[in-house]
Chains A and B, each alone.
Chain A
Amino acid sequence: MIWLTWRQFRWQAVTAAAFLAMLAIALGITGPGLVSRYDQLGLGTCHTECTSLAGQFLDDFKNGPDARLFYAGLALMYVAPALIGIFWGAPLIAREFEHGTHRLAWNQSVSRTRWAAVKLGLVGLATVASAGLLSLMIGWWASPIDDALGYGQPYTGTWSPRLNPLMFGARGVAPLGYAAFAFVLGVTAGVIIRRTLPAMAATLVIFAAVQFLMPTLVRPHLIPPVQATAPFNANAADEIVMTSEGSGPTTMMLKGNFSRPGAWVLSNQTITRSGRVFDGPPARACTSNSAPPQACSNWLNSLHLRQLVSFQPASRFWPLQWAETGVYLIIAAGLGALCIWQIRRRRA
């Protein structure tokens, strides 16, 4: 069974290996330059001034030629599991059903359970190994950038610390979990739908939905977030926004400053002494054009508002990585069992 699985999978395996080798070359050529630039600036040994050094390093990098490789690496980490699910997972058994070859395979002297388990196991192993290599290579290459981002530069979006949703899924062990899940999801879709193309489409849709729901709904709560509270200081606030709709009352939204390098902020609210989220109405000092800006801040500070922040500290990167990987692996194992049960039960 191992021989047959390998014989049917070898071209996909060779393609993946060739791709990984090419990527290794590209990263191997450009990676050492990043490390030496990082060390040159003294980022590896800095005690003070780290934040500004990191800012310098990142500015150089963003305008340099390697920035594109960084983006590509980030995208690849998200695309690779989906590709594995679509091109390795979905056709694995659906193609057998489509061509009727399962009737040949199921009438050799090997039980269907073994047939399915070996296929799932071997190609699943290749999946996890590929995703692991990919994450290792890209993680190594991007480590100077990730470290610099960890110093709390006021960057947002792509240029965020590794705990932020976009970076989190592209680093560490989580991609292994994604790949394993995507692969088994593809196989399951193939077993249930029995047609390769629809199974591929279903895999893509479901995987994309799960990848969207995970960071928004599940990941923040994998470990209960830390709640921090401090007096609201209007002078250091990040945002003070006033909105008025038509003739209705003017509302006011406040966002206090919160700086913990590398933390993932889940919510940042300003609450009144009675515990309600502050929404105005603003005093005349804030709405009047003639009043000095300081007058509004003084009024806000006199309200004794409190800032309530819910966040995951930077130190939780690995615990969250393992927890999330665990969740994906458990789902993958469940789907794998469903596949085998379906194949045992399902009659040609």
Chain B
Amino acid sequence: MTAAVEASGLGKKYGRRWALSDCTLSIPVGRVVGLVGPNGAGKTTLLSLATGMLAPTTGSIRVLGGTPGSGPRQLARVGYVAQDTPTYAGLSVADHLRLGAHLNPGWDADLANRRISQLGLRPDQKAGTLSGGQRAQLALTLAIAKRPELLILDEPIASLDPLARREFLQVLMETTAESQVSVIMSSHLVADLERIADYLVVLMGSRVQLAGEVDQLLATHQLLTGARRDPASLPSSQHVVTASHTDRQSTILVRADEPALDPSWSVSQIDLEDLVLAYMGLARTEPDGPGRLAAAKILEEKR
């Protein structure tokens, strides 16, 4: 089966700055992928590379087996809602649907009209007068109604109020439920993605820090708390992600395929947000040093 996104050694440089470097990923189809990372981590760059809006500086990327943006056929297979959900301010909602119908051979007019009426948008309303949430919904409708195999959403809800966020995610979840579309959605907030993502990619400092199925990531990470001890004394099957120590206590995040058996530890599960934060903190000062501690601190503060 071809991957939704297959990147190898992918990098993009702006002038002297690498916006994305050495990105190797293989995201299977049929997933709802959360791409998370702080602002400036390279999320938009990665998604722009996947839609062919950017060309890579190094490495290669294939989307659904094809070169991104390589022609009408490839463009028809990928739906893209760009950052800030651009729409034509001077065109009405109905005009946007007509635009979609004219420019996409696979256009699903019924679906588009149904969405618009469900959202309560007036067809004759100019897109420039829509609220941010309505505009995002219109952009999403355009991307969905072209019936893509892969839907790429670049921070579509970053600027929306909580209610509009919820509505947007609702529509997205309904869509993924009724069609076999794969989704990649980026956000700088884990909470936005937690409800819908079943696959997670953490991007930080232009590098991929973590990628995998959400269930598996949660199952293989454990937080160990116990009397102070050196993390190096842990068995080799337990990979230390972060460690923090007080005078008497150690808190260590480990990745391991099997549960920790050592009875001197109290073992707890970690939630997605904390996991992401731990990896983000880790990236801040790679590879060793105070950064690891900082990450663990973030973790502790969160608890």
Please tell me if the beta carbons of A8 and B48 are within 8 angstroms of each other in the complex.
Answer: no
- Name the interface residues of A59-112: CB closer than 8 Å to any CB of B: 99-101, 103-111
Q: In this assembly, does B76 line the interface, its C-beta being within 8 Å of a C-beta of chain A?
A: yes
Query: Can you report 5 A-B residue pairs in the complex whose CB atoms are below 8 A from each other?
Result: A3-B99, A4-B103, A104-B142, A107-B80, A109-B72
CA–CA, A104 to B53, complex, Å? Answer: 11
Q: How many Å lie between the Cα of A108 and that of B148 in the bound state?
A: 10
- Contact yes or no, B55 A100, CB < 8 A: no
A101 touches B87 (CB 8 A): yes
Partner of B99, one of A106, A108, A347, A348: A108
Q: Is B182 an interface residue (CB 8 A)?
A: no
Is there a chain A Cβ closer than 8 Å to B82's Cβ? Answer: yes
B contact residues, total (Cβ < 8 Å): 35
Binding site for B on A (CB under 8 A): 1, 3-4, 7-8, 99-101, 103-111, 347-348
Q: Is B89 an interface residue (CB 8 A)?
A: yes
Q: Find the B residue at minimum CB distance from A104.
A: B86
Complex interface: chain A residues within 8 A of B53 (CB) = 103, 106-107, 347-348
**Chain A hits for B142, CB < 8 A:** 104
Residue numbers of B with Cβ under 8 A of A are 48, 51, 53-55, 69, 71-73, 75-76, 78-80, 82, 84, 86-91, 95, 98-100, 102-106, 139, 142-143, 146
Complex Cα distance A253/B87, Å? 68
Taking a contact as CB atoms under 8 Å apart, the answer to whether A1 and B86 are in contact is no
Given contacts A104-B82, A347-B48, contact A1 B55 (CB under 8 A): no
B54 touches which of A3, A99, A348 (Cβ 8 Å)? A348
Q: Do B87 and A107 have beta carbons less than 8 Å apart?
A: no
| CB proximity of B94 to chain A, nearest CB, Å | 11
Q: Which of B55, B90, B98, B105 is within 8 Å of A109, CB to CB? A: B105
The CA of A110 and the CA of B107, in the complex, are separated in Å by 13
A residues within 8 A CB of B78? 107
CB < 8 Å neighbour of B82 from A1, A7, A8, A103? A103
B86 near A108: Cβ-Cβ < 8 Å: no
Within 8 Å CB of A110, what residues of B? 72, 75, 103
Cβ-defined partner of B86 (8 Å) among A3, A100, A111: A100
A89–B230 CA distance with the chains assembled, in angstroms: 69
Interface centre among A3, A100, A106, A108 (most CB of B within 10 A): A108
CB-contact partner of A7 in B51, B79, B80, B91, under 8 A? B91
Per a CB cutoff under 8 Å, which of A8, A101, A111, A348 touches B72? A111
Contacting residues, chain B, for A4 (C-beta < 8 A): 99, 102-103
Which chain B residues border A100 with CB–CB below 8 Å? 82, 84, 86
A8: chain B residues at CB < 8 Å are 88, 90-91
Is B88 a contact partner of A101 (Cβ separation < 8 A)? yes
Query: Which one of B55, B91, B103 contacts A108 once the chains associate, using CB atoms below 8 Å?
Result: B103
Measured CB to CB, the nearest residue on chain B to A107 is: B80
Closest Cβ of chain A: how far from B75's Cβ, in Å? 5
Q: How far is the CB of A186 from chain B (nearest CB, A)?
A: 19
Instruction: Report chain B residues within 8 Å CB of A107.
Output: 51, 53, 75, 78-80, 82, 143
Closest to A100 in B: B86
Question: Of the candidates A7, A104, A108, A348, which one forms a contact with B48 in the assembled complex, judged by CB atoms under 8 Å apart?
Answer: A348
